[in-house]
Amino acid sequence: MLTILFDGIAYGMLLFVLACGLAVTLGLMNFVNLAHGSFAMAGGYITLILVNRIGVPFFAALPIAFLVTALIGAVFERTLYVHVYAKPHLDQVLFTIGLVFMSVAAVDYVMGSQQQYIQLPDMLHGQFTVLGVNVGKYRLLIIGICGLLTIALQLILAHTRFGSRLRAAVDDPRVASGLGIHVNGVFAVTFAVGSGLAGLGGALGAEILGLDPTFPLKFMIYFLIVVTVGGTSSITGPFLASLLLGIGDVAGKYYVPKFGAFVIYTIMIVVLIWRPQGLFARATAR
Amino acid sequence: MSRPLTYEVSRFLAERARWHPLEIAFWVAALASVFLLPAKHLILTEITVLALFALSLDLILGYSGIISLGHAAYFGFAGYVAGLLAKHAIVSEPVLALVVSGIAAAVLGFVTSFLVLRGSDLTRLMVTLGVSLVLREVANQLDTITGGADGLQGIVMAPVLGLFAFDISGHVAYVYCLLVLFVLFVVARRVVNSPFGLSLRSVKGNPLRASAVGISVNGRLVGIYTLAAGYAGIAGALLTQTTQFVSLDVLSFERSADVLLALVIGGTGYLYGGIIGAVLFKLMQDYLANLTPQYWQFWIGLVLVVIVLVGRDRMTGWLDQVRTYLARVSPRATRRVGAVGASPVDGD
């Protein structure tokens, strides 16, 4: 029971790191980025290449995956995404689906379509028991890293100048730019960091979520649920939504394996009927 | 006072609904393909099914602005219904089975519409995608009924109306699909040119103002969503009937994305977009799949990205020029220019 809770929390934390970038970009620019999973996949494959082929230590590969994905994100943002912000949602959806299809086929071409595994260091294998709870070492690592990241993100948002600029821009981009905040610049940085976090999540999650070219398609719905259930006005909402989704998914797959896949959709439907604007969303005009 | 006004209104509606020579030419060309391209009937059948599917998406996207990522839900659901009806000989006559499948999909559409209509664009994306994924999972789990990942095998179709048996080269199938498409197109044309269709446009334009002039916004959206689900269902049932096979693939996300792409290539909001788009999409897909059998999705993705970057308005801009030209040669068509113009879909 507690083991499932533990696994669920690890899973949820992972989902949060994967999806929080999406939540912020969505809240900031009202931009629907379905290709967010592609960045996560990029992070996973970068780590795979670094660790399995070049022999970089796993812990050194993680920050590299973050940085490279962030860089890819920044380049894409400045060259392609920037043209699509002002367009209607339909265009954004089409554009990002196109990117997803391209990334899926490109990764398939370069890396092959089979499921791949990152060689983890030996110290991360296995599990130990604390007070009757089976603690997987790798999952503990995920909770540790993601927990630290969450705290760091919260601190950055709440206590730095950049954080307050970002919050101002999310609240009302027009007024924020009127006050001299460079909204586009803030957004570019946020987009890059969000992509980087997705890449880090993809790298960490390859062991649990699996890594193959269809990754962006498989997890698109998870990201959408996190963002819609959690709302986009803060990072607390997506965080709680991720935990709910992670624990629900793991528990569902464990207790009712036959219907495990439906648990997340049930959560989604219940939330939608109960709170159409999302569980933690503030009632805003937008 | 009110009589001249109602007269004006009905005259205006009749004017909008009048068939244009170009439209007649279009359908004559479609009819001609039956006789002139007998060797291509298999791919033409696929095109016709996709055209009907895209037409149904146009009803909700082009006429009411709902973006769906899971329109395959209704397509696939009715596909399975049609397959099961034929396999277990519950309703063996294809046309009747088609109607039953369509109604089944419409009922599903009606039920799910209440979920779809909640919240913003983002919520709709999630819900439509979620609904199609749930159905796919259901079809996967109920493998004793649906055949699971292997697909539903052993479907044998009875002759259409008890007279025309499906042949191996697909002549009957094509004529059958084309007739269904034409009939449903005429109905859809009637619907969008009716007062109901006009009120839909106003809902799409500005839901708040529409409700202020007394239009029940949710009622209209539920109505058109149900109708579109029924259309998608009939398209799915047609696919099952003509291929005598149905698999999980009919419920996949790729299918929803393909139909969206087909519709966007043709342009939204004037009914022909889906049909023209289906032709272009299938030809493109055929060409790309021959070029790179495994990686054609990459090029489809590239097409999507390019369409958006170039701008959808400019992609379908040549149609506007055709219309302006027509307006110049026949003054009667002037009023139609604004009426059937491919207006960009606003997501806000």
Q: Does A221 touch chain B (CB under 8 A)?
A: yes
Amino acid in the structure at residue B71: H
**Residue B288, in any domain of the structure:** yes
Picking from B39, B59, B84, B125, the residue whose alpha carbon sits closest to that of residue B236 is B84
Give the helix ranges, DSSP H, for A113-235.
137-159, 161-171, 173-178, 183-209, 215-230
Q: How close does chain B come to A221, measured CA to CA in Å?
A: 7
Lowest model confidence (mean pLDDT) among B2-6, B46-50, B134-138, B241-245: B2-6
Query: Which 2-31 residues of chain A touch chain B by CB within 8 A?
Result: 26
The secondary structure of B320-340 as a DSSP string is HHHHHHHHHH-GGGHHHHHHH
CB B105 within 8 A of CB B232: yes
Chain A: residue nearest B295 by CA? Answer: A105
SS3 state of residue B246: strand
What is the pLDDT averaged over residues B254-270?
Answer: 87
Token pair 């790298």: residue: A203
Q: Which residues of B touch A87 (CB under 8 A)?
A: 308
Q: How close does chain A come to B197, measured CA to CA in Å?
A: 21
Q: Which residues of A touch B261 (CB under 8 A)?
A: 94
pLDDT band at B182 (very low <50, low <70, confident <90, very high): very high
Q: How close does chain B come to A178, measured CA to CA in Å?
A: 23
CB B300 within 8 A of CB A101: yes
| CA atoms of A147 and A134, how far apart (whole Å) | 19
What is the pLDDT averaged over residues B108-133?
Answer: 84
More confident residue, B347 or A157: A157
Q: How many CB pairs under 8 A join A and B?
A: 128
Quick one: pLDDT at residue B102? 94
Q: Does A281 touch chain B (CB under 8 A)?
A: no
Q: How close does chain B come to A60, measured CA to CA in Å?
A: 32
More confident residue, A173 or A147: A147
The secondary structure of A78-143 as a DSSP string is HHTGGGTTTS-HHHHHHHHHHHHHHHHHHHHHHH-SS-B-----GGGSSEEEETTEEEEHHHHHHH
pLDDT band at B24 (very low <50, low <70, confident <90, very high): confident
pLDDT band at B147 (very low <50, low <70, confident <90, very high): confident
Tens of pLDDT, residues A257-281 = 777 778 778 777 777 777 766 666 5
Nearest by CB to residue A94, choosing from B141, B296, B308, is B308
Quick one: pLDDT at residue B181? 93
What is the pLDDT averaged over residues B318-330?
Answer: 61
pLDDT band at B169 (very low <50, low <70, confident <90, very high): confident
Lowest model confidence (mean pLDDT) among A208-217, B30-39, B309-318: B309-318
Chain B: residue nearest A27 by CA? Answer: B122
CB contact under 8 A, B304 and A91: no
More confident residue, A192 or A121: A192
Chain A: residue nearest B67 by CA? Answer: A90
SS3 state of residue B15: helix
| pLDDT at position B347 over 50 | no
pLDDT band at A24 (very low <50, low <70, confident <90, very high): confident
Tens of pLDDT, residues B45-72 = 999 999 999 999 999 988 888 888 889 9
Chain A: residue nearest B143 by CA? Answer: A258
Q: Does B348 touch chain A (CB under 8 A)?
A: yes
The phi, psi pair for B17, rounded to 5°, reads: -85, 0
Q: Does B304 touch chain A (CB under 8 A)?
A: yes
* B245 CB burial (10 A radius; 0-12, 13-18, 19+): middle
What is the pLDDT averaged over residues A141-169?
Answer: 87
Q: Does A82 touch chain B (CB under 8 A)?
A: no
Output the pTM of the full model: 0.84
Chain A: residue nearest B344 by CA? Answer: A88
Q: How close does chain A come to B117, measured CA to CA in Å?
A: 10
CB contact under 8 A, A101 and B67: no
Quick one: pLDDT at residue A281? 57
**Residue B78, in any domain of the structure:** yes
Quick one: pLDDT at residue A86? 80
Structurally, chain B folds into a number of domains equal to: 1
CB contact under 8 A, B294 and A108: yes
| CA atoms of A42 and A111, how far apart (whole Å) | 11
What is the pLDDT averaged over residues A210-225?
Answer: 86
For an interface test with B, which of A79, A89, A114, A223 has the most B Cβ atoms less than 10 Å from its Cβ?
Answer: A89
Extract the tokens encoding B169.
């080269």
- Give percent of chain B with pLDDT exceeding 70: 88
**Residue B347, in any domain of the structure:** no
**Which helix (H) or strand (E) covers residue B293, if one does?**
none
**Residue B348, in any domain of the structure:** no
More confident residue, B196 or B295: B196
Of the spans A21-25, A27-31, A187-191, B182-186, which averages the highest pLDDT?
B182-186
What is the pLDDT averaged over residues A160-177?
Answer: 83
**Residue B189, in any domain of the structure:** yes
Quick one: pLDDT at residue B318? 61
Quick one: pLDDT at residue B230? 94
CB contact under 8 A, A99 and B301: yes
Token pair 């962006």: residue: A216
Lowest model confidence (mean pLDDT) among A48-52, B163-167, B229-233, B329-333: B329-333
Quick one: pLDDT at residue B343? 42
Nearest by CB to residue B122, choosing from A26, A83, A101, is A26
Which residue range forms the structural domain that includes residue B334?
A: 2-340
CB contact under 8 A, B129 and A108: no
Quick one: pLDDT at residue B346? 40
More confident residue, B237 or B146: B237
CB contact under 8 A, B309 and A109: no
**Residue B125, in any domain of the structure:** yes
Quick one: pLDDT at residue A217? 86
Mean pLDDT of chain A: 83
Domain boundaries, chain A: 2-215
CB B55 within 8 A of CB B185: yes
SS3 state of residue B255: helix
Q: Which residues of B touch A34 (CB under 8 A)?
A: 125
| pLDDT at position A249 over 70 | yes
Tens of pLDDT, residues B332-341 = 444 444 444 4
| pLDDT at position B321 over 80 | no
More confident residue, A127 or B269: B269
CB contact under 8 A, B134 and A265: yes
Q: Does B257 touch chain A (CB under 8 A)?
A: yes
Q: Does A183 touch chain B (CB under 8 A)?
A: no
| CA atoms of B126 and B59, how far apart (whole Å) | 20
CATH code at B279?
Answer: 1.10.3470
Picking from B104, B239, B124, B130, the residue whose alpha carbon sits closest to that of residue B177 is B239
CB contact under 8 A, B123 and A108: no
| CA atoms of A13 and A15, how far apart (whole Å) | 5
Lowest model confidence (mean pLDDT) among A272-286, B155-169, B241-255: A272-286
| CA atoms of A163 and B146, how far apart (whole Å) | 52
Quick one: pLDDT at residue B226? 94
